[in-house]
Amino acid sequence: MALILDLLVQGGQMALVLALSPLLTGFVRKVKARLLRRRGPSMLQPYRDLLRLLRKEVVLADNASWLFRVTPYLIFAATWVAAALVPTFAIGLKFSWTADLIAIIALLGSARFFLALAGMDVGTSFGGIGSSREVMIATLAEPAMLLIVFTLALVAGSTQLSMVAVMMSQPEVGLRVSLGLALIGLIMVAIAENARIPVDNPTTHLELTMVHEAMVLEYSGRHLAMIEFAASLKLLLYISLIACVFAPWGIAAPDSAPLAYAIGTAAYLGKLALGGALLALFETSIAKMRVFRVPDFLGAALMLGLLGTLLLFVSRSL
């Protein structure tokens, strides 16, 4: 019985992230539109877009290979699994020990690896420009992220997100310099990873400034739907990650009563809304960078991560 309940909660989390991620994307778009004094599309628009794309036929470039057709599903699956392993409303789920934070980052890395390959598959210049810029960004964002993970793991004594969340809600952790550095670094990495302004613009239609959109230029129909879905899931994942690590309040403990789960879910929805609103506010208040300014931006995140880790190596209390 306990096992079935565990599986139900785990399955609930998988379904929850899947159901919520387009809503989050729609919410961010809505807030952005409001900040720009536009009315904006309905928050449910991403669901409609996905359904419309799913029903359309796929137009495949002549020399697209099997890799091009498999990639969208692989990316979707890897991102979904990663998103479902980040604690949202409860910690200590049945399969939460399957992958720790390092493995979750690496899963996202797998998704990016295949997306970059798919960008080069058709053999147009746009795919190539997108892929080469994406891997350039990734070569800085991934080490920065890993150093931030080191910082968190050293504070919490664990790379398991559930344990990190428990540790972070303890009073003895308190305010620390290294955690502050890690938070800033993590936000910078999250912006880059999700192709948001100022690193990339998800709504751009000018080919030369595109990174992520250039890679997926040849995708259409259900394939594009999978990729868009994966992008929404990734945004949700990063906001959940920041919420779980830096604001673990209200999150339900393992084997708690249904009421605790309900409180956890409500708290989680609140955190998502806050995170989405802050993202929209940040995006409307800043301009996009030139591509070759991005290394400076991410280099700063890398240095913050390194500094945070170094402080912890030198003193356990900083």
* Nearest-5° Cα angle at 86, 225 to 95: 105
Which one-letter amino acid corresponds to residue 16?
L
Q: Is 89 in the site for another protein (CB under 8 A)?
A: no
When asked if residue 221 is in the footprint of another protein (CB under 8 A), the reply is yes
Could you say which of 27, 150, 238, 268 contacts another protein (CB under 8 A)?
150
279 binds another protein (CB under 8 A): no
Tokens of 294: 């991005």
Q: Does residue 154 bind another protein (CB under 8 A)?
A: yes
Backbone φ and ψ of 252, nearest 5°: -80, 140
Nearest of 276, 275, 299, 304 to residue 289 by alpha carbon: 299
Q: Would you count residue 60 as binding another protein (CB under 8 A)?
A: yes
Q: Which stretch binds another protein (CB under 8 A): 132-140, 182-190, 240-248, 262-270?
A: 132-140
**Token couple for 292:** 């070759």
d(CA 215, CA 45): 23
Expressed in angstroms, the distance from the first to the final Cα of the chain is 45
Candidates 177-185, 245-253, 271-279, 305-313: pick the segment binding another protein (CB under 8 A): 305-313
Which residue among 41, 128, 250, 270 contacts another protein (CB under 8 A)? 128
The CB-of-54 to another protein minimum distance in angstroms stands at: 4
Residues 190-209 contacting another protein, CB under 8 A: 207
CA proximity to 292, closest of 213, 215, 211 = 211
Instruction: Confirm or reject binding of residue 23 to another protein (CB under 8 A).
Output: no
Q: Which of 173, 135, 169 is nearest to 154 (CA)?
A: 173
- Quick note: the x/- pattern for another protein over 156-185, rule CB under 8 A, is -xxxx--x----------------------
Window 62-81: residues binding another protein (CB under 8 A): 62-63, 65-67, 73-74, 76-78, 80-81
Nearer to another protein, 275 or 305 (CB): 305
Asked if 317 is part of the footprint of another protein (rule: CB under 8 A), the reply reads no
Look at residues 231, 232, 228, 211 and name the one whose alpha carbon lies nearest to residue 220. Answer: 228
Q: How far is the CB of 251 from another protein (least distance, A)?
A: 17
Q: How far apart are CA 230 and CA 2, in angstroms?
A: 32
Alpha carbon 137 to its chain centroid, in Å, reads: 15
98-117 positions binding another protein, by CB under 8 A: 98-100, 102-103, 106-107, 109-110, 112-113, 116-117
Nearer to another protein, 20 or 279 (CB): 20
User: Which of 273, 190, 280, 239 has the alpha carbon at shortest distance from 88?
Assistant: 239
